Amino acid sequence: MNLVIRIHDAQHNHQFGDRFNRRLLIHPGPNRIVIPIQEVREGPDEREMDMTRVRNIMLFAYQLEKPTHILLGKIILE
């Protein structure tokens, strides 16, 4: 299953390149995803994300072939 994680801060200008975006390939069963915080900080194309002002963390699926259930554990920014 394909998921996307999208993170933006208070300065986000609503453009794709002004946020952190990452495609995640999820397999059946437990998955552990670790994204280094520096990669999130460097996500916007032309600036550094203000990690003290993160406003949205969005996880969404796309191109689903059938309805699917996902159980999420902790999401931690540190």
Instruction: Give the pLDDT confidence score for residue 35 in this predicted structure.
Output: 93
Confidence category of residue 9, pLDDT binned at 50, 70, 90: very high
Instruction: Give the pLDDT confidence score for residue 7 in this predicted structure.
Output: 97
Distances (CA, A) of 25 to 11, 13, 49, 75: 28, 27, 24, 17
Tell me how far apart the alpha carbons of residues 38 and 73 are, in angstroms, rounded to a whole number. 22
pLDDT in tens, 21-78: 999 999 999 999 999 999 999 999 999 999 999 999 999 998 888 888 888 888 877 7
Reported pTM: 0.86
Instruction: Give the pLDDT confidence score for residue 76 in this predicted structure.
Output: 78
